[in-house]
């Protein structure tokens, strides 16, 4: 998705592009059924994130 970023302090505008979505998985801790003091990483959860990158800068 295109995004215009305005730097009001510096007086510049930047044409950027934002990308978002599910980018991986994350191991989640769950207590061990036999020993509650021990934690097992036996569950996974989708990991979402986003990035912005500059297409060009106005001068």
Bridge partners (DSSP) listed for residue 40:
30
* Domain locations along the chain: 2-57
- Are 39 and 32 within 8 A, CB to CB? yes
Query: Which of the two residues, 59 and 36, has the higher pLDDT score?
Result: 36
pLDDT score at 9: 92
Mind listing the pLDDT tens digit for each residue in 7-51? 999 888 889 999 999 989 999 888 877 887 888 888 899 999 999
Find all residues with CB under 8 Å of 50, minimum gap 6, and list them.
18, 19, 20, 21
Q: Identify the DSSP state of 21.
A: E
pLDDT score at 35: 81
- Cα–Cα distance between 52 and 41 in angstroms, integer? 31
- Are 52 and 17 within 8 A, CB to CB? yes
């Amino acid at each position: 998705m295109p995004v215009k970023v305005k730097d009001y302090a510096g007086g510049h505008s930047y044409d950027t592009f934002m990308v978002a979505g599910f980018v991986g998985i994350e191991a989640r801790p769950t207590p061990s059924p036999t020993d509650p003091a021990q934690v097992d990483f036996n569950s996974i959860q989708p990991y979402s994130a986003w990035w912005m990158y500059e297409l060009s800068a106005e001068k």
